[in-house]
Amino acid sequence: MTLPETVALCDAVELAAIVLQKPLFDKDLTKQFFPGKAPADVEADIKDVMTLAKVRLAAVGNAYPFLVTDHSITFQEPHDFNVYTFLLLGRTLEFGGPLYADELLRNFRRLFEDVVCWSLRKAGFVSEVLSEPRAFRGLHVQLAPALREIANRFNEAATLREDRILPGDNDLDVDVLAVPILGNASRGGWPVIQIQCATGAIVDLESKLGEGALTFATVWENGFFLGSRIRGVATPDDLLKLHEVHWLRLGQAGWVLDRTRIAYLSCTNRVIPLLPEITAYWHELWAARHEIDWQTGWQKAP
């Protein structure tokens, strides 16, 4: 399972628009990304990029921070934290360039699930991050008390079987939990979404969806039933150009949240505060944008 080169190039073009702070036209993109080549030789590549950018705009709505025409792209800096920009910069760290790229990447992968959770809350879901570390996320560091707290917050009448939790269990193969509506605490079995976050190569998405998909339900009685579960996977990649057969296979396994869907969830006017850890990291990531190798890094992107 791979993405076409157009996706990485479109990411690089968006990053260039952010860094250069001016409208980029066809001839600019040819000069920046294909130096020494005649415009006619790369016309199809540039057209594919602009077409994908317009598809992203249609998919993301007002959370897409770029103005796109058939022949230009312009960054429109949002007034507030923008999920799409966060995910774009986090993913393009893999292009290389920043002195502390490895540390920035580690922190991006650690906080990605918090941004997914925040976007779900913006969309009206009740959502919690279960994976470690839990303390700064407002949950008990030990798994059993954290699970009971989540059940209370979801108003799910489920009984935790602590004897079914093993010493090495961390998050029961679930990074983010969400419910579309709070239960009424009478009988269990309300719908619950169980999301695994995948910040590695997209070839791992299928395994992330399937791996441990049944684990969470095994530690409960009278609630969090397997039949009312939706399995999900979240990725900072844009999957709009993923081959349709791969998308079909992923869709059969669960709810797939790619960069465009996560950003779309955040489009509402609900005011949901960011964790201080996300805000602090966002300032670091934004400051590193000038150092990311957008001109050539996209060619070696995984």
Report mean pLDDT in 10-residue bins for the chain, 302 residues: 93 96 93 88 93 96 93 92 97 92 95 97 97 92 96 95 94 95 91 94 87 92 94 97 94 95 95 95 96 89 62
Neighbours of 247 (CB within 10 A): 16
Which residue(s) pair with 233 in the sheet? 196, 256
pLDDT at 241: 96
Strands 220-221 and 192-197: unpaired
Distance between CA atoms of residues 130 and 146, nearest Å: 8
pLDDT at 294: 92
Question: Are 56 and 260 spatial neighbours (Cβ–Cβ below 8 Å)?
Answer: yes
pLDDT at 37: 86
Measured in whole angstroms, how far is the alpha carbon of residue 222 from the centre of its chain?
A: 32
Distance between CA atoms of residues 234 and 227, nearest Å: 21
pLDDT at 95: 93
Residue 198 identity: A
Question: Are 55 and 41 spatial neighbours (Cβ–Cβ below 8 Å)?
Answer: no
pLDDT at 204: 86
